[in-house]
Amino acid sequence: MASRSRLWTPKRSAPFRFEPCRCKVAGCDLPALDGRPIAVSYRTPLLVRQGRLVATGGQEMHAASFLRKRRLVLDGALRRDPAEWRRIVVHELFHFVWVRLGNSARRCWHELLRAEFAGHAKGELGWSAEWRKERLTADALRRPTRLAREYACESFCDTAAWLYAGAGRHPEFTLPARWRKPRRLWFIQQFGERAVPL
Ligand SMILES: [Zn+2]
């Protein structure tokens, strides 16, 4: 291919147009990505209330993704912490992946999570999955509730961040090694031979 890929780093001044086919995320070992561009910008602090960005009074977040608008807003403070920036960026990119993954792959991820529950696997690969997991039981995971759906999605995004963001160790990586291995294999099977759609 003639066009050179552009590097997306935390230092880039916002807004940045992330083109999945042409841009590389600095410091990450991501598979090939495919999808329409995502507009990226920063806010300090990043405050969100009821799914909307607000100037005051919202909840402070690391990131907010607007999937249909293909827009990603990051907390400006992340620019000073490249490792955390990578972890959050990969997590958010995989929110875009989750919606394009298709039902059969999502069901397959659910099955993996159910097997973990059946095996009494504790811990997760990020806090956004872990706090939801703590509120779920094997029975509740099987039911089509919002919490079960959100947990599946967040655990998917946290696993991607653990796998691709080059973090090595992180205090939020609490899932034991024996349970990490099937997750890694799942990702290799899903995305080993095709570009990741996002
Ligand atoms: Zn998330």
Asked whether residue 171 is domain-assigned, the answer is yes
Asked whether residue 138 is domain-assigned, the answer is yes
Cα 26 to ligand 1 centre (Å): 20
Q: Looking at residue 2, what is its pLDDT?
A: 45
pLDDT tens digits along 23-34:
999 999 999 999
- 110 in the same domain as 45: no
- 107 in the same domain as 78: no
Q: How many residues in total does the chain contain?
A: 198
Q: Looking at residue 107, what is its pLDDT?
A: 95
Q: How far is CA 63 from the centre of its chain?
A: 11
Q: Is 30 helix (H, G, I), strand (E, B) or coil?
A: coil
Asked whether residue 120 is domain-assigned, the answer is yes
Q: Which among 156, 150, 115 is positioned nearest to 134, based on CA atoms? A: 150
* Residue 18: Cβ within 10 Å count: 23
pLDDT tens digits along 165-193:
988 889 999 999 999 999 999 999 999 88
- 163 in the same domain as 115: yes
Cα 180 to ligand 1 centre (Å): 19
Cα 90 to ligand 1 centre (Å): 10
Cα 4 to ligand 1 centre (Å): 30
Asked whether residue 88 is domain-assigned, the answer is no
Q: Looking at residue 4, what is its pLDDT?
A: 72
- The interaxial angle of helices 177-191 and 146-164, nearest 10 deg, is 90
- 150 in the same domain as 78: no
Cα 132 to ligand 1 centre (Å): 11
pTM score of the predicted model: 0.95
Cα 154 to ligand 1 centre (Å): 5
Asked whether residue 97 is domain-assigned, the answer is no
Domain around 159: 103-197
Q: Which of 47, 82, 117 is where one domain is finished?
A: 82
- 181 in the same domain as 110: yes
Asked whether residue 2 is domain-assigned, the answer is no
Residue 115 CA to residue 118 CA, distance in Å, equals: 5
Asked whether residue 95 is domain-assigned, the answer is no
Contacts for 10 with CB less than 8 Å, ≥ 6 apart: 26, 78, 79, 80, 81, 82, 85
- 193 in the same domain as 108: yes
Residue appearing with tokens 């066009």: 3
> Which residue ranges in the chain fall short of pLDDT 50?
1-2
- 57 in the same domain as 18: yes
- 136 in the same domain as 66: no
Containing H/E element for 112? helix 103-118
What is the number of structural domains in the chain? 2
**CA atoms lying within 13 Å on the CB side of residue 48:** 15
Cα 7 to ligand 1 centre (Å): 23
